Amino acid sequence: MHKSPSQPLSRMATGQKGYVLALRGGREFQQRIIALGLNVGSRIEVAEANHTGTGGGPVVLLSGDARLTIGNGMAEKILVGDRVKIRDLQIDQHARITGYVTRDRDYRHKLLRMGMVKQAEFKLVRVAPLGDPVVIELQGSHLTLRKAEADAVEIEVIMPL
C-alpha cells in the first residue's frame, strides 16, 4: 500500500505541489483559512517560499485561480501531502473518484462492484473515532470502508460552488 508523506506548508519549497490534508488549528484559524479559499483537499502550488533564517517568512501559494500569501505561523499549521485520502475529508465534504492506488485486479473489481467507479461522486458521512472504518454516501447508499479499502481509492475534492 502506498503511504502519502505529509509536511507543514511552511516547509515546502518553491514549485512544490500538493493537497491540503489537515488544518491543525482552532476553529477561528480554520475559519480564516477556509475564508481564504483553502480547505482539506484543496490543490496547492508554492509560488514563493521565503525560508530566511530560522523564523521563516510568508509562503505565497496558488490554489485554483487564487494567489494567497500566508504567514509562516499559519503555514506551519497547514498539513500538505501528495494526495488526499477519503479519511482526510471532513464530514459532509464531497469528492470524486479519479482512480485506484492498488494494482491488485481482484481488489479493483471489488471496489467497482461496490459502485466505486471513476468519476463517481460521494460524500463522507462518518469516520470512526480511530479513523477506521469510514462511511460514505455513494449513489444514495451508505458504504462502510475499512482503512485499506478507502486508501486504495484516489480522489479529488469537489469544492462547493
Count CB-CB contacts under 10 A for residue 70. 21
| Contacts by residues 99-105 (CB-CB < 8 Å, ≥ 24 positions apart) | 99/153, 99/154, 100/152, 100/153, 100/154, 101/1, 101/2, 101/151, 101/152, 101/153, 101/154, 102/1, 102/152
- Domains of the chain (ranges; CATH) run 6-81 (2.30.30.90), 86-157 (2.30.30.90)
Q: Which residue has the cell 464530514?
A: 91
Q: Grid coordinates in use for 83?
A: 494526495
- pLDDT by residue, tens only, the chain of 161 residues: 344 467 888 888 888 888 888 888 888 988 888 888 888 878 889 988 876 545 577 889 988 788 988 888 889 999 898 877 888 788 888 888 888 887 788 888 888 888 888 899 999 999 888 778 899 999 888 999 888 888 888 888 886 54
